[in-house]
Amino acid sequence: MERPSVDARLHAAMRVAAVQRGEAGTLAYEHIVKAGLKAVGLGNVAKQALESGPVVTKEDMARLERALFARLGLSPRTAKQHPLGLSIRMERPSVDARLHAAMRVAAVQRGEAGTLAYEHIVKAGLKAVGLGDLADYAFAFGTVKTRDDMEKLELALLSMIGLAEEEQMAS
C-alpha cells in the first residue's frame, strides 16, 4: 500500500460504513465528508463547493479553490503551506472533487496540515452519521501497512457490526 491521503484505518472504517448504510462506497464517503465538514463547523465551505458547477479538470479544481478562498477571505498562497492531496485523480475521484476542494480550503481555514484536517473531517463525519465507534475501533486496531492488514481490519469492523459472515460468503 502506498501512502494513503487519509489514514488507511479511516478508509477501512468508511468502506464498512458504506456496507452498513447500504450505500455505494462513493456515496457513503460523500455523506461522511459532508457531515464531517459540517461537524467541524465548516458546512458553509461544503455547501459553497457543492453549489458550484461540475469539476472535471484540474483547471476546474483550481478555479473552484480560488473562488472558495476568495469567499472566505483567505489567501490561496497559504494553501501551499498546507497541501492536501495535490495529485488528485480527476478522471474518477473517490469523493466528489468539489468536496476535495472544500477540504483543502477547510485545512487552510483551520490552520492544519491538509492530511490532518482531512482525518479530522472524516472522523467527525463518521461520528455525525452515527458510526464513530467504527473510527475509534479502527484507530485502536494498530498500524495498517499491507493489503492483508487492511483486509483483517475490514473483517474485524464488519464483525463489529454483525456483517462479517455475510461478507465472507459474498467473496
Is 3 contained in some domain? no
Question: What does the pLDDT look like over 114-137, one tens digit per residue?
Answer: 666 777 788 888 888 887 888 888
Structural domains in the chain (count): 1
Is 1 contained in some domain? no
Q: Which among 57, 116, 61 is positioned nearest to 83, based on CA atoms?
A: 116
Is 153 contained in some domain? yes
Question: What does the pLDDT look like over 2-36, one tens digit per residue?
Answer: 444 456 666 677 777 777 767 666 667 777 878 88
- For the ranges 1-10, 82-91, 106-115, the lowest mean pLDDT is seen at 82-91
Going by pLDDT thresholds of 50, 70 and 90, the confidence category of residue 82 is very low
Residue-range definition of the domain harbouring residue 71: 8-170
pTM, 2 dp: 0.62
